[in-house]
Structure formats: C-alpha cells, structure tokens
Structure 1
C-alpha cells in the first residue's frame, strides 16, 4: 500500500488492504521466445516480450522471475508455521472478500471502459504488461493518498485507489502504483498480505482474530510484508520502465501535495536518500535504523529511492540481466521485431543495445563456431576470397557513430489515414550507436578493387550482401541487399563490416558475429549475420530490393502496382519525433519540456527543429545537441554526420492543444506537413510533422 490509512468508517470490524510503497527493482535476466520454431532458432526460453499497444508486455513472465529473494525466504518461514495458511483462508476467505466487495460497490466508483476510461486503460495496459488478469478497479473518495488490493483465494480480486492519490500523481506514476498492486496478484500474496494488513491497520484487536496472532508472528508478518513490497516494486518498475517515475512516487508520498508537485526535484530527493544512507552506516546509525524500521510494514521512502538509484546505476554500468533493459516492444512474435518505449530513446545520445530496435525477416540465426565462421567474397572479381574473423580484425578498425532507422518507422500513424501492410511500428524503430569494425573499402582492396571505384575491371557496379538469415519472402533463401560499388569503395561513406556495437561485441539480435552498417541509408540495407559479399553488374535482385522498400505515390494500390517503375529506397528523408510525450498526453498547466530526436539520411545534418504548441500557428526553435559539452553545428567536423540529433525546448502550456515538431536538414529539406500527402501502400518513410495531442487538466 502507499501509506498506512485508517479503515473506512463504514467498516465496523475489519479492513483488508495492500497499501503499497515502491522499492528496489532488482536485476533479472530476460530472454525472448516466440513459437516453437522461433525458440529453437533463438535458443531461448523463459520470458518473451510482446507489444501491448504502446508498452512492453512480458508474455511468459512468471512471478518467480522477479520475486525478491527475501520474499521467497520469508514466505517459506510463514508456510512452515503449522496450519497457519489453512486457518487464514478459512477465516479470511470468501466472507472477507464479500464484505470488501459490497463495501466498495456501495461506497466507491467502479472503473470501466465507460467510467473513468483513462484509469481503466492504465490498469488494463499494466495488467497486459505483467501478463495478469485485469482485476476490478475502484476509486474511493479520501483525503489520504492510498491504494490497496484484496485477493485471498484468487476469486474476485480488486484494487482500490483514493482520489487524493489520483490528484497527486502523474499518469505514468499512477500506472506504476497500479502495477505495484498487480504485483501482489501476480505473486499470489493473498492470505499473508491480508494478515499483515490487519496488523497494519490495527484490526488485529477484532475478537477471535487478534488473540491468535502472537507478537512473534506479528514481527514475522511485517518482515514478510516488507519483503513482499520489494517484489511488487519490481513489478512497478517493469511497467514504468523509468526509475525516476518510481522515485517521484516515493518523493510525493513522503512530502508532496498537488500544489507543490511541479517544484519537487527527484535528484534532490536522491541526494537526501544518500545522506540517510551515510548517516545510518555507522554502528549506532545501523542500530537506530533497524529499530526505526522493525515495526514498519514498508521500508522507508528514502531507502527505497536509494536502492532504485543503485540498481539503475548498475544497469547503466553494463551489469547483465535486467528486465528494465530488456523491455522492448515486440510487434509480431515471429519473426522477432521489437522497439523500445519512445522515452528510452532520449535517455542518452547512444542507444543501448537492448533498447535498439530489432528488425528481422526470419528466425534469428545462431552462429556458434566462430573459428570456422567466414565471409566469402566473390562475383566479378579476379581473386575470390574467404575472410575469417581474424582476417577482418587485422584490418584497421574504425568507429562510426551512425543512426539506423527502419523504413517503416511511424507506420502505425500512417495506417490511421488508410491501412497499409507491414510491421506496426510506433516511433521507436530507430537507434543510434557506435559501430566498430573494418571499412568495406579496405576489405575490397584485398580483392584488388581500389578506393573510389565505380566500375571494377570485370564490370562490377554493385556490392551485394548476403545474410545467414533465411526468410519466406526469398522462398526460404537468404536475406540480401546491395549498394553501389562507388559507395562501398568510398572511405568517406563509412560503410563498415561491424563486429562491435557501443564498444561491445554484437549481440545475436544485432547481427553477431558480423554485420554491415551503411550509414545514412534505411536499415534494410545494413545486412546482419553477414555470410557473403558479391560484386555484381546490377543491383541485388532479391525480394527486399525489388518488391519491397520502394516509395510509391498515394494513387498506387495493390491492384495497379508495378514494382519495376521505382528504384529501391536508399537514403532516409529528414525525420523528427517528440519522445517526451505520448501521442495523447494529459498534463497539468505550466512548464512542459518537449524533447525528441531528429535525423536525416545521406550524411545531412539537422539545421533546425521547430516546435509549435498551438497546432502550427507559431513556432519555437528547439536547442539541438549530440555529444555532451560540445555545441552542435550542422555539418561541422566536430559533429557526427551520420547520427541523429537530440532536441529540447521548454514551453508554457496552459490549455488543451496540439504540439507539433518538424525538422529542417542542412540541404534545406523539410518534413511534409500532412501524412496524407506521402501515404503509400507499404507505409514506409512516414516523415510527416509529428503531432501530439496534449490535454490540460486543471
């Protein structure tokens, strides 16, 4: 539960609740699975993550996957007490549930699709993320910020949230609260939670109940409850996907109110938490802290904030195995396609591997024998070669910072105008990374093809990349794509055979052990799991070059399409997306930070990002940046020409409005205003103005 509160006055004898703070999200390894075929090819088991509208969903998530060790330990201790579990279910089962059910039906508002639909959506989405049935949700009028749960035997579980809590928290924070309560249901905390809450609310004085619970049991129940809260804090973080959301909840519950909410500072609260840890680190401090928390049902807010911060710091430092980092939005299960929450993209200039979108056209292949793995280079060359990884690593290594973007990024928005075919990407099928490896121009020199060669001696004009990946579109054959030879042999084009991503070996999802990275070009040409390179006279004749990823006008449909009339898409146009706000966002009036990413293909920089808070009537110029401490100047030597630019602007929003962002690149290309003007049947290259509907709640 969020705070300890007095039971409703209308309840004469007992109250059952789960008043839940949040606590330490711990590291947890996540693997991805889909169908049996996908599982076999990916060699993975356990948790699969699937798309749930706009959030991550852990499809095979089991309670023990995130249950805190202290929760497990203390549950075993309670179960070891003879007859306690059976007694609890007998005393506190169906009757207690019915009492609470009737109490809430009579005195609260039942949330549904037609009653407080925003809250209903938050609960339904959180339940889908955690793979748990959606319980009933009630809103109760109360000045005490609180939320609680009842689920003893798994029948008729429900959650109650107080109106004062709704007023105090943001939308994301409210969903984290609901996720915490769902954690209790997911973990079947049931009878122990009810016992503990009877004690918490002082109801153990009820005749026939209080006398059965001795002091020792009381302490053991509180010890268990504190551990159970740690488990459910992890559930909250899995849904929130942002430690600052959880810490902000703690801060507001510790000393917040609606009128001061916009002045609260999460970083300052974390500093306060560190001060407490320091003060409690001495022998006397340790003793006093234990004495302070022994009779509490929840660890102190500052301790929880400190542990959340510590956990997230470990994640940032690269310690392995965290669902926080594995939380990609999966589109279909096979092939494996995933994008992160949009807010994750602006958390740093470089996109972490686990946050980088994943696009596949077949089961993810396994390359086990790295010693025997090689890339064959043949075609219109005098001396075909096979290059092993050692051969490639002996070539000069280059690090190229480049943004890769799926051509179908933002397809879902285009499909709202008129349905298109393709993976339903939101706005996060894009990422920015440092790719380490050998330049393709150096590799081709080993075959006698000089740098800046447009036509080889044997009339080769294109370089085709062939993947280990097999896909149905190629009738079970390999995925393949090509680029012009002049681009491949141009050192300034920075085409690399990459074996590292952000200084670490490629992961299997991103092409281990070797992939092609073609900067400034749609992601479909950066072939993963490279198996062969062919020098050819004509561009690749594969499916994804000739019958996909081509730009057609709105007048073309599936009945009159002629693929041969268009060339394969290469450079991606100028793009700009707001990531700090959802497509429909409710805020309080006042200052709002609007931030996101902007990028353009072909090595073109971003000259300007314009943001409007009045539906396009007037515009604000946003600040742009890449590397910390280095001013961004479009096309300057200190700027990464192949990489995106992050932007930010703060605006005063006092009324419900439409927020828009658009970018201009260094060649003066500007995003089109309307998606209708660039609609195409494959839904690629949606670079229209990005629009956010902001609702202001006074």
Structure 2
C-alpha cells in the first residue's frame, strides 16, 4: 500500500504548527510584497470589494501588423487540426497555434477551439484574462486579421450569461465581506488573518478558489456521480445519484485543514526566489497566508466507495496500485487526479464530502458533493464532483502543467501546512492568527 500522506487533523495540527512557526516568521521578515489588508484590495488585481457593477478584465488581443493578410472564418476553419495545422481567432486576430500546442498550459483543451474562435472559451475559463502571459503569447502567434469579424456583445464581462446565477449564491456575500476579493469571475477570495482566529473556520469565511462559473445544482439528491475504470476487469460505467450513494454508505466526520497550493505564494517567492514557485508572473503571485482554513467535514469515505464500486481493486498488488490514479472531475469541467494508493488508504480519511461545519456545502465550496483530501493540495479537492475514474494519471492541465513542484517536475499532492504564525490555546491545539 502507498505510504500515508500527511494529514492535518487536530493531533497533526498541534505537531506540525510548532515545526513551521519559526520558518514562517523568518520568511515573512524577508517578504518584498506587503501583506494584503481587508480594507483595500489585493495588489496586482483590479477588483475592489465595493466595486459595482462588475467589469471583468479582457485582453484587447495583439495589435494588427502592417501588411498582414486577411482571412475569413471559412479560411480559418480549414485549419482545424485535421490537416496538421491549427489556427484560432481571438477578436479580430488570426493566430497559428500549431507549434504552440505542446507549450499551451491548457494542453489539448485548446483543440476544442481549433479552426474557430477562443473568445467563448476564454469567457468561461476567464483565468486567461488574468494571466499576463496571455498577452505576450498572442503577440508572437498573430498571423493576420479576421476579415469578417463582427464585434459581439460581451455579457459575461458584466457578470451575466454563465456567471449570472452565482452572483446571488448562498454564502457569497459573507465571503466578500470577510475576505479579500482576488477575482470576481472566477470568484476567488483570500481569508483575512483576523477571521482565522477560531479553531473551525466558519464556512462563509473560508477562502474560495474557483476556476470557472459555479454550477448551481437544484436537486442535490438527484445529482449524478459516474464511476468508471480504465482497468479491463471493471469496464462498465455506473451512474449513481447522491441520494443512492448516501443510502448505501455511512457518513463519516473528520476535522481537517483545507489549503490552497498557492497559499503564501508571495512569501515563498520573496524568500526562495522566482524559480521556487509556479505562481510567478501569474494572478496568484501576491497570495498571502489566508488561503487555508480548518473545518469539520462530513461525507462518505472515498476508500469504502471505491472498493465497493470497483471490486477488482482487492486483487491488485501493491505495485499495481502504485501505478494507478483516481481522476476526479467536477461539473464545471475541472479535473485532476491523485494516486490510487492515497484514495484507498483508510488512514488518509479521504471523503466525498457533503457538509461543512454541520451544514450543507455552499455552492462556492462544491455543493452538493466534493472531494475532501486531508493534507493534500487544495487543487486536488475537486468540487461539484460528477465523475470518478480509476486508471492512469490525469493528462489535464491542472495535473500536467499547473500545481506542480519547482520546475514543474512533478504534481504536488502532499502539501505541508504553510502558516503566517500560530498561537497555542489550551487543548484545542494551535489556532491560526
């Protein structure tokens, strides 16, 4: 069986906090970027907590070049990858991304726009408009202008379209009130340090890290979760509603910290240099110490569910298990994987979580069901869970490119607790301040 990954339940919190406190304080003294304050907005962002109406940033696109050729949409469609070349359009520009495919952080996902516009995809995966790398890339790839380009109304930029339902989602206003709004679309917040004084972080104060519009599920018990296997012995996909899963498996409750992979990115970059972080130059470069929180989570044990859904797992050797992963896919299209050995380890306490602090999850935290993986990078704790697949490691961008170690050498799974400083309080262990 794979080794047990670090977990941050109450006992682990007491031990781990003491070991990181000195180093955390030392690195903070060397920090080049001032810590964020709840009275203002986050350095590097255009979002203000009180700004209304919402106006999302948009790249203008690469400027036209003198004498560049003009192409029609029909011309671009001929370069959809079927003949070896891939062109896309953004606004009035035409871009040849054929050689860029191997470098594209989103991997093969860009092929979904092959021979057509990326505008719609970027409105959904709005992170494109928050990354400074995008503008430079567009400049280098532009090959001409779109002759039949027509300006389209961009409702999503103002919080409409796919982004409209979440604006009034339960819990959103408390997040805005008690945290630093890093981005509105996708919605991302960092919890103010003063709000982390309680042992259990209130649900509405827990940091939020979304990548796309929040799926709003109206009938939670009818929400489908698909179980699939790439192993020959378990080839049939099985769809179960959340209600069916809850009727079949017992609830289990744990207390565990959830921490974003980029927590204290600003401190890390200042202390260890740009090469130490994959967040340099991105929209998360200035993240402080508020991308974590401690919660009481309730849900179904992932190891019990996997063993019941995939009986052949009991026949696999330890070596075979080490070669396999579990891919977790969310309703928003986000997907990533974790080692199968971790998911099957009953000491890891991995959950298909449905409740936080005794209440149903809010939409921003994955209602109606999410993965909760103690001690594992927040990026692997997929929200709005809709599919679980046993097989090879995910080839998705959030495993193959993002959330990886220095030099992007390997995916980050186990994540040491990364605090600003801690305070001992009786037998409750350490509390984050």
Shorter-chain TM-score range: 0.5 to 0.7
- Cα distance change, pair 50–59 in 1 and its aligned pair in 2 (3 A): farther
Matched, 1:528 2:379: no
The two structures, once aligned, show a CA RMSD in angstroms of 3.3
Matched, 1:488 2:373: no
Among candidates 371, 375, 393, match of residue 516 of structure 1 = 371
Matched, 1:541 2:395: yes
Counterpart CA distance in 1 for 2:367 and 2:48 is: 24
Among candidates 315, 334, 338, match of residue 185 of structure 2 = 334
Does the 8 Å CA contact 1:357/1:431 hold for their aligned counterparts? yes
Q: 1:625-672 CA deviation, whole Å, 9 max, x = no partner?
A: 4xxx6364xxxxxxxxxxxx3268xxxxxxxxxxxxxxxxxxxxxxxx
- Report deviation, 1:492: 1.1
- Cα distance change, pair 518–451 in 1 and its aligned pair in 2 (3 A): farther
- Cα distance change, pair 452–549 in 1 and its aligned pair in 2 (3 A): farther
Q: Please report the TM-score for the alignment, with normalisation by the length of structure 2.
A: 0.55
Does the 8 Å CA contact 2:42/2:181 hold for their aligned counterparts? no
- Report deviation, 1:573: 2.4
Does the 8 Å CA contact 2:190/2:291 hold for their aligned counterparts? yes
Counterpart CA distance in 2 for 1:320 and 1:521 is: 25
Matches within 5 A, 1:430-469: 430-447=292-309, 448-449=311-312, 461-469=324-332
Counterpart CA distance in 2 for 1:326 and 1:491 is: 38
- Report deviation, 1:458: 11
Q: 1:135-158 CA deviation, whole Å, 9 max, x = no partner?
A: xxxxxxxxxxxxxxxxxxxxxxxx
Three-state SS of the structure 2 residue aligned to 1:332 is strand
Three-state SS of the structure 2 residue aligned to 1:493 is coil
- Cα distance change, pair 539–455 in 1 and its aligned pair in 2 (3 A): farther
- In structure 1, runs of 5+ residues without a counterpart are 1-48, 62-318, 470-477, 557-562, 579-595, 597-622, 633-644, 649-698
Does the 8 Å CA contact 1:454/1:461 hold for their aligned counterparts? no
- Cα distance change, pair 525–647 in 1 and its aligned pair in 2 (3 A): closer
Among candidates 356, 362, 383, match of residue 507 of structure 1 = 362
Aligned residue pairs, count: 265
- Cα distance change, pair 547–320 in 1 and its aligned pair in 2 (3 A): closer
Question: Residue 238 of structure 2 aligns with which residue?
Answer: 385
Three-state SS of the structure 1 residue aligned to 2:347 is helix
Q: Please report the TM-score for the alignment, with normalisation by the length of structure 1.
A: 0.35
- Cα distance change, pair 376–56 in 1 and its aligned pair in 2 (3 A): same
Question: Residue 254 of structure 2 aligns with which residue?
Answer: 400
Counterpart CA distance in 2 for 1:325 and 1:495 is: 29
Q: 1:541-576 CA deviation, whole Å, 9 max, x = no partner?
A: 110111111122xxx6xxxxxx5xx12011112423
Relative CO higher for 1 or 2, CA cutoff 8 Å, sep ≥ 6? 2
Range that drifts further, 419-428 or 398-407: 419-428
Matches within 5 A, 1:264-343: 326-343=177-194
Range that drifts further, 408-417 or 432-441: 408-417
Among candidates 52, 62, 65, match of residue 41 of structure 2 = 52
- In structure 2, runs of 5+ residues without a counterpart are 1-37, 54-169, 275-279
Matched, 1:420 2:281: yes
Q: 1:400-441 CA deviation, whole Å, 9 max, x = no partner?
A: 111111111112334556553242322101111111000011
- Cα distance change, pair 489–58 in 1 and its aligned pair in 2 (3 A): same
Structure label with greater radius of gyration: 1
- Report deviation, 1:58: 2.3
Does the 8 Å CA contact 1:364/1:508 hold for their aligned counterparts? yes
